[in-house]
Structure 1
Amino acid sequence: MSVGLVIRLIVLALLVAFLVSPQTFVFVFRPLVRAGQPVIYNQGSLIDLTLNHLAIVGTAMVLATALAVGLAILVTRPFGAEFLALSRSLANIGQTFPPVAVLALAVPVLGFGTAPTLVALFLYGLLPIFENTLTGLTNLPPTVTEAARGMGMTGRQRLMRVELPLALPVILAGIRLSTVIALATATIGSTVAARTLGEVIIAGLLSRNTAFVAQGGIIVGILAVLIYDGLSAIERMLMRRTGQAGRQA
């Protein structure tokens, strides 16, 4: 077991311990508060907020992945090539409007709560996944695709058995980027009453309690690093399995 993996497991264990029993870590955050202020966030359950935060991000990423990958597959087929510009414009919508602007536009239609945050994260996550999927599907080794055709595979068979498996590491890299961005961006959802870790940060800012801000920021930061590393490990494993690691090296 590598040193890096051991460190990550220790960090994960400490994060879980903090979420389950935050009062155990009072000594860590006490120097950050003024006299009379609570040391640990006391306006809700940290573990509930964390799980809800992850659920919102996970749902948005599943929806963004489904649409972005579907669009990339469509425009890389002969019958869908003419829709490339339109698909790219659609994927760019989330990057054109800042998440805060999307929230402001979505609230009058969807109301306060989780829904506007899901829309903002969904739109913001489309572009990296779409572009990576497009890159993965259009940069396949010609010899492999020609061999698949020579074996008599149909277009659907080539897509499912050859193209997507080979493109999967590149697709996963886009999902990894979108997920990490969404983890941080989801905190602004609390400004429209979504239950995310942004509640902790906002409460700290409003009460000038630095410990609350630190707690929310640290949880989000650790989650982002661990998820990034986890998806990177899966990506490397897929590259080894498809024989792409040696080629890139």
Structure 2
Amino acid sequence: MSGNRYQPFTLLLLLIFVAFLFDPAAFTPLFKWFADGNAPAIYQQDSLAWLTLQHLMLVVTATASSSLIALFLAVLVTRPFGADFLPLSRSVVAIGQTFPPVAVLALCVPILGFGNGPTLIALILYGLLPIFENALTALSTVPPPIVEAARGSGMTQSQRLWQVELPLALPFILAGIRISAVISVATATIGSTVAAKTLGEVIVAGLQSYNYAFILQGGLLVAVLAFLVNQALTALEKRVRR
């Protein structure tokens, strides 16, 4: 299905998403079927809009941090003086995939305490690999004739990096950032187990009270948020490619 066909659906989904965040009570008839007895159908212990904003801010901060670290390492190992660091860099960025986020939380809580800190560390580590690998591949496959032409025109190594290599690699780098961001949207939910303010709070509350309406709300909000983030970054990728 083409991107253009997705646009009306995405806009409709965005409108429903925003409407639910700011007036969740209007959707009570849809969720009451999943709440037992007199249990509330809509999560009201905290503002869903506020939780979504906190969730998104955590994801943005983690993805931005992962991007800076991964891009630094990718640029380093694609320079002649840093090529020897490639195995070490790959080991570093693979840590997040080797250790599950829950394990990272368990290790970080005694040091950083409860809250957003341990969750942020887990998301940063978990988001490094896709950005690094995409950036490494893109920078390693810049056509040599283009680089040679830039060198022949008198550009310094720094100028070639910023004005030639990174612009050509940008679409692939953005693809890695998109994958990392979508992963972070889903993974951030576990942060609520260590008192981080995320949409996982709604899911945890539903699990604790056996309220399937809460579980469904939290799951749907995270899924829609991940889809919208993916669509936004996909649109940015296409724009950069053009």
TM-score (norm 2): 0.97
Match of 2:27 in 1: 25
Alpha-carbon separation, structure 2, partners of 1:13 and 1:146: 49
C-alpha deviation, 1:146, in angstroms: 1.5
Match of 1:219 in 2: 221
Which residue of the other structure, out of 60, 70, 74, is the alignment partner of 1:58?
60
Which residue of the other structure, out of 95, 105, 108, is the alignment partner of 1:106?
108
C-alpha deviation, 1:229, in angstroms: 1.4
Structure 1 stretch displaced more, 138-147 or 217-226 = 138-147
Aligned residues: 240
Match of 2:9 in 1: 7
Amino acid at match of 2:90: R
C-alpha deviation, 1:113, in angstroms: 0.5
Residues 1:164 and 2:173 aligned together? no
Amino acid at match of 1:159: L
Give 3-state SS (helix, strand or coil) of 1:195's partner: coil
C-alpha deviation, 1:7, in angstroms: 1.2
Superposed, which structure 2 residues align to 1:88-99 within 5 Å?
88-99=90-101
Alpha-carbon separation, structure 2, partners of 1:239 and 1:9: 23
Match of 2:193 in 1: 191
C-alpha deviation, 1:147, in angstroms: 1.3
Deviations along 1:177-221, one digit per CA (max 9) or x if unpaired, are 111111000000000000100000010011111110111111110
Match of 2:144 in 1: 142
Match of 1:122 in 2: 124
Q: Percent identity?
A: 59
Match of 2:43 in 1: 41
Q: What are the ranges of 5 or more consecutive residues in structure 2 without an aligned counterpart?
A: none
Alpha-carbon separation, structure 1, partners of 2:43 and 2:153: 62
Amino acid at match of 2:109: V
C-alpha deviation, 1:154, in angstroms: 0.5
TM-score (norm 1): 0.94
Alpha-carbon separation, structure 1, partners of 2:8 and 2:165: 35
Structure 1 stretch displaced more, 98-107 or 138-147 = 138-147
Report runs of 4+ in structure 1 exceeding 4 Å deviation.
Answer: none
Amino acid at match of 2:72: G
Alpha-carbon separation, structure 2, partners of 1:107 and 1:123: 15
Deviations along 1:28-79, one digit per CA (max 9) or x if unpaired, are 1111111100010011110110000001111111111001000100111111
Match of 1:174 in 2: 176
Alpha-carbon separation, structure 1, partners of 2:36 and 2:98: 41
Superposed, which structure 2 residues align to 1:75-94 within 5 Å?
75-94=77-96
Give 3-state SS (helix, strand or coil) of 2:154's partner: coil
Q: What are the ranges of 5 or more consecutive residues in structure 1 without an aligned counterpart?
A: 241-249
Aligned CA RMSD, in angstroms, stands at 1.0
Alpha-carbon separation, structure 1, partners of 2:80 and 2:6: 45
Amino acid at match of 1:137: L
C-alpha deviation, 1:143, in angstroms: 2.0
Alpha-carbon separation, structure 2, partners of 1:122 and 1:109: 17
Alpha-carbon separation, structure 2, partners of 1:178 and 1:156: 27
